[in-house]
Structure formats: C-alpha cells, structure tokens
Amino acid sequence: MLSSCGIVAALMQTLVMPLLPALPKLLHTTATSASWVLTATLLAGAVCTPISGRLGDMYGKRRVMLCSLLLLVIGAVLSALTDSLGAMVAGRALQGCAMGAIPLGISIMRDTLPAHRLGSAMAFMSATLGVGGAIGLPLSAVLAQNADWHLLFWIAGALGVLSMAAIRFAVPESPVRAGGKFDFAGTAGLVLGLCCLLLAVSKGGDWGWTSGLTTGLLAGALLVLGGWVALEYRVRGPLVDLRVSTRKPVLLTNLTTIMVGFAMYAQALILPQLLQAPLATGYGLGQSLVLAGLWMAPSGLVMIVLSPVSARISAAHGPKTSLMLGIAVIAAGYGGAVFLMDEVWEIVLVSVVVNSGVALAYAAMPALIMRAVPVTETGAANGLNALMRSLGTAFSSAVISAVLATLAITFGGVALPSRDGFTIAFLIAAGIALAGLAVASAIPSATPGDPARAEPGARRRVRHIAAPREHAEPAEQRR
C-alpha cells in the first residue's frame, strides 16, 4: 500500500511533461510562463519533503502522509477545473507537496515492519521514484493525445483518493514520536533559502545565468542558508539536526544522492528528445510523442524487478555495496550511450541499463541513512535525503538543458539539439555518476550498533504510542 502511494506521488513529477509544448496555447500564455507548471511542482516537492519528515516524526507519519495526499487531491482538482496559468501553477504546487509521502512511507516501514521484511519493502518504496516517472510519461502522452488534457488531473485526483483510503484502512500509524516544539524559524529559513536556490538553478537558463535576478537569487540563497545552518545548530529542537546530518555516513550518502539524482534525471531529458528528433537530421529516430513515452516504459518495469535484488545485495554485502554497484551501472549505461544512438532498441537498452543502476542505488540509500540516525529522526532524515535527490534533478535540468540548447542546430526553422549536444550530455552524466561513485566509496562500510537505540532521542524526548492491536505481533518480534 505504501509503495503504491509512492508511485502516485512520483507520477506528479512527469504528469505534464507531454503537455509542455502545448501548454502556452492551452493556458493562453508564453512558453517561459508555461514552464512554471513544471517548476512549481519540483520546487514544492523539494521544499516540502524535509518539512513533512519532521512533522511526521513529531505528530505521526501516517497522519502527515494523509495530509500530503490530501494536498495532492486538492491540487489535482484545481488543475482539472482551470485553463488559467495562475490556478494551474497553484494546483501543480499542491501536487508537488505529495513527494513527502515517499520518505514518510520509508520511515513508517522502519517503525512497524519486522526486520526480515524491512529491506525489500524499503527498496521497493525507494524505487517508486523512478517507477512513477517511467510509467507516468507514456500514460500521460497517451491520454494527452487521445482525450481532453484535463482528464490527466481527474485521474491523478482519483488515484490520490484511492491512496488515502488505502493508507487510512491498511497502514498502521508509527508508534514512535519525537518530542519538542516545531522549528518555525528554521522552516522559514529553509523554505526561503531553497526557493532562492532552486529558482535560480531552474530558471537561470531563461533569465540568463549572469542576469541580476539569477545572481541575486544565488547570493540570497547563500546568505539565507548560511544563516539557517547557524540557527539549526543553536535551536534545541531543529527542523534538521545538523549534528546528525553531518556525520560521515549521512553526509556522504546525501552528497552521493545529489549526483545519482543528477544522473537519473539526465536520461529523462536526453532520451525522449533523441527519440523524437526528425529522421532527416541524420541522427534523430523520428518517433511520435506517444511512442517515445512507450519506449521508456520498460525501464520502469525493470526497476520494479530489481528493487528486491538490491535489498538482497544489501543484506548480504551491505547497502554501500549495492549503492556503488548501482552507480557503476549508471555510469556504464551513459558511457555506452555515446556509441548507442542510432536505433530505437539501442535507446531502450540505454534506458534500461541506466534505470537498473538507479533502482539498485535508490534502494540502498534509505538503509544507509536510517542505520546512522536515531529512530526519532527517520522522517526528517529521509526527507532531507529526498531533498538531495530533488537538488540533483534541478541541477541536472539546468546543466543538461543548457548543453542541449547551446549545442543546437536549426532544422525547419526550429532549434534542435545536435548529435554533439547529445554526446556531450551523455558524457557529463557519466562523469557525474563516476564522481558519485568516488564519494560513495568513502562511506563507512559499517556503523557500530543501531543508533536508533544507542542514542535514543539525540537530545529529543522519545514518546511511544500504543500500536493497534492487530499490529502488535510485529512490534513484539522486533523487541
């Protein structure tokens, strides 16, 4: 149930991608303004994940997860009922808030599942980030081409309602609570700093990287986030416990996550454009929007299959091994892509290989994070890790888009990425993956003991609530 909700939340990231070329006409606006429909979702998802995690630690992870899904439903209905840019952007931002459901689901699993089921469950939940995107792209393309585009949002809202019902009646609330007061000042600082940073990164290509607005936002982000770090070290109950987050296992895992997020998102930007480029260019494959989406679908199925494999590798050799293996596969996929650009089956193979590595890597990250943080901070820690993924995708979007726009040709009066542009983009993604592999190799292979028990509370009071009667047995098994 939790994993299905993760897929629904991840679907929101790619839901409107097939509509992007038509959005200016549909919303009666410019192409630059229409891009906010996607930017708002990515920005809201990045900002909300660490906040949702901390709220879940304090007030109940299932409760906050239900609230996140409720925001998704409200946002989907708002988007389904409008042709206005402002209302659409607001609706899409609300849908982005649901991304906090994925780290919350992973934290619920740690708190409620017996040890022998935890690894495979976390691995599959982590893979939903990629599975949702891979499934959402062809599904959205088919619906957008054959039905009223508003139907996309009605279906998203219906899936959100079904997910809420499943969570409400089939998932127990976590019995673990963290005490203390909510850090409103830290929340405001993080939101403001991230908004400045992500806006500059995601819109810098449109505004100009040396424009006053872009450089001003980057300077503001640096100033605000620097003050936020100082504040979080002084507050008794911080939004993000930086003393825990700067431990070597957590810090290096989060740095690796940024690079894996970059590499994961790069193929979603590159491969559909290569598939849809006209045959007359000499390198394009001439596929329609729908076919391009369908050719990407097998990679989502591969991620479903490989997530339990990652769990078994982690159980036998440690999650660090699984993470490094996954990143190596990603790098190999992009390296091979330089020579596999001439046939549709080659692009499908590249997509499958890259996403196989993503499945292995994503499944290992929560295990590395949660064995290094107290049990009362799993929601916030997983939320921060999800934020690192979002930063990676934002940087990937900015860098890859800039490369493809710079190394472009004019074909039929339209600017298209050149073959050299695609090749350089593949090499950049491979290089980032190799850098991530180097960082991952420095993660400590083992953490002595279980910090959730060795450091009960990490300066925070721990409160347990009674678990529902029907779920008492797993808790007893863990004890």
pLDDT-derived band at 316 (thresholds 50, 70, 90) equals confident
pTM reported for the whole predicted model: 0.79
Residues 170 and 200 in one domain: no
**In whole angstroms, what is the distance from residue 406 CA to residue 367 CA?**
40
Residue 204 domain-assigned (yes or no): yes
Residues 205 and 319 in one domain: no
CB-CB contact of 85 with 28 (8 Å): yes
- Quick one: tokens of 134? 């891979």
- Quick one: tokens of 42? 């990515």
**Residue 209 dihedral angles phi and psi, to the nearest 5°:** -70, -20
What is the tally of structural domains in the chain?
Answer: 2
Can you give the residue range of the structural domain that contains 229? 183-238
Residues 230 and 250 in one domain: no
Residues 351 and 403 in one domain: yes
Q: Which of 64-78, 361-375, 395-409 shows the highest mean pLDDT?
A: 64-78
Query: Three-state SS string across 344-408, please?
Result: HHHHHHHHHHHHHHHHHHHHHHHHHHHCCCCHHHHHHHHHHHHHHHHHHHHHHHHHHHHHHHHCE
Residues 296 and 441 in one domain: yes
Residue 8 domain-assigned (yes or no): yes
Q: Residue 311, SS3?
A: helix
| Per-residue pLDDT at 4 exceeds 80 | no
Residues 233 and 259 in one domain: no
For residues 127 and 204, the model is more confident at 204
Q: 191, 215, 238 — which closes off a domain? A: 238
pLDDT-derived band at 466 (thresholds 50, 70, 90) equals very low
* Average pLDDT in the chain: 80
Residues 253 and 363 in one domain: yes
Residues 226 and 81 in one domain: no
Residue 465 domain-assigned (yes or no): no
* Average pLDDT for 392-417: 81
**In whole angstroms, what is the distance from residue 87 CA to residue 83 CA?**
8
Residues 393 and 264 in one domain: yes
Residue 473 domain-assigned (yes or no): no
| Per-residue pLDDT at 476 exceeds 70 | no
Residues 255 and 158 in one domain: yes
Predicted confidence at residue 243, as pLDDT, reads 80
Sign of the C-alpha dihedral, residues 321, 325, 326, 328?
A: positive
CB-CB contact of 109 with 101 (8 Å): no
Packed helices 101-112 and 2-14: angle between N→C axes, nearest 10 degrees: 170
CB-CB contact of 408 with 275 (8 Å): no
